[in-house]
């Protein structure tokens, strides 16, 4: 599975959009981009995933560049409860092999 | 509520003691996983299972054993606990297609003294 690079930390004002970048320059054609978050010491929570088209669900939007070498997770209206560590992971869909977590981006939403 | 349940939530062991962590899921998922998370680090895969009666090693399997006798349960065993195994342990499950990612339990905080 391809490796990802994320900023260590980011801040965002409550009510504003939080844009979390992720670089995955070695991504293969059959690898998807997954996003998870971990609030405090809880178990990670799945957010969204995509292959090459932009995706949106009730939690967030995922924008993947045309060359697929980077992506951005967008939380449209960040709240204090969105403060968490966000993990960007690339892997082959339906692959039974390990889901590799890096150190992620610590997002702090402030009032 | 449907999901992944881990027991116990907290445990303190003495070096050399043994214990079993239980993970149960009620979503009829095929795949189950055990991860550990040390302070300030991401999750590392210990063992995983792709179906009842099957197990496989992950990134950091040494010192642990697992069993999947029933589809809904995945047990993680520590035969002789060591201080290096002090960590938070997370269990996860996913369906065969993995369309909605992994569902994680709330974790077991284990301290070995």
pLDDT, tens digit, 9 for 90 and up, residues B62-97: 999 999 999 999 999 999 999 999 999 999 998 876
Q: What 3-state DSSP class applies to A82?
A: helix
C-alpha–C-alpha distance, residues B37 and B33, integer Å: 13
Distance from chain centroid for Cα A75: 10
Closest chain A C-alpha to B10 CA, distance in angstroms: 13
pLDDT above 90 covers what percent of chain A?
Answer: 71
Task: Please report which confidence band the pLDDT of residue B100 belongs to, taking 50, 70 and 90 as the band edges.
Answer: low
Which residue out of A42, A98, A105 would a mutagenesis test of the B interface target, given it has the greatest number of B Cβ atoms within 10 Å? A98
Is B40 touching A (CB cutoff 8 A)?
yes
Instruction: Please give the pLDDT value at position B111.
Output: 96
C-alpha–C-alpha distance, residues B43 and B36, integer Å: 6
pLDDT, tens digit, 9 for 90 and up, residues A64-108: 999 999 999 999 999 999 999 999 988 766 555 567 787 899 999
B46 with B60: CB under 8 angstroms?
yes
Please, what's the largest Cα pairwise distance for chain B?
41
B13 with B77: CB under 8 angstroms?
no
Cβ–Cβ gap B105/A43 under 8 Å: yes
Q: What 3-state DSSP class applies to B85?
A: helix
pLDDT, tens digit, 9 for 90 and up, residues A11-48: 999 999 999 999 999 888 888 899 999 998 899 999 99
Q: Which residues of A touch B96 (CB under 8 A)?
A: 94
Integer angstrom CA distances of residue A78 from A38, A83, B33, B57: 15, 9, 31, 38
B71 with B52: CB under 8 angstroms?
yes
Measured distance between the N- and C-terminal CA atoms of chain B, rounded to whole angstroms: 35
pLDDT, tens digit, 9 for 90 and up, residues B10-53: 999 999 999 999 999 999 999 999 999 998 778 899 999 989 99
**Please, which residues 63-92 of chain B have a Cβ atom closer than 8 Å to chain A?**
88, 90, 92
């Amino acid at each position: 599975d391809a490796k990802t690079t994320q900023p260590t930390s980011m801040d965002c004002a409550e009510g504003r959009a939080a844009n979390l970048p992720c670089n995955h320059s070695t991504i293969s054609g059959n690898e998807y981009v997954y996003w998870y978050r971990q609030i405090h010491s809880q178990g990670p929570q799945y957010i969204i995933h995509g292959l090459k088209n932009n995706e949106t669900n009730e939690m967030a939007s995922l924008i993947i560049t045309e060359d697929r070498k980077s992506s951005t997770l967008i939380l449209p209206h960040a709240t204090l409860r969105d403060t968490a560590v966000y993990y960007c992971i690339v892997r082959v869909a339906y692959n039974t092999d390990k889901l590799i977590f890096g150190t992620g981006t610590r997002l702090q939403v402030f009032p | 509520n449907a999901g992944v349940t881990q027991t116990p939530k907290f445990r303190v062991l003495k070096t050399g003691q043994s214990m079993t962590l239980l993970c149960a899921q009620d979503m009829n998922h095929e795949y189950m996983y055990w991860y550990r998370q040390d302070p300030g680090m991401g999750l590392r895969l210990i063992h995983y299972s792709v179906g009842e009666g099957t197990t496989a090693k992950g990134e950091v399997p040494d010192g642990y054993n697992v069993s999947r006798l029933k589809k809904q349960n995945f047990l993680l065993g520590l035969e002789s606990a060591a201080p290096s195994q002090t960590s938070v342990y997370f269990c996860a499950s996913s369906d065969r297609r993995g369309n909605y990612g992994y569902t994680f339990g709330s974790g077991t905080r284990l301290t070995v003294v």
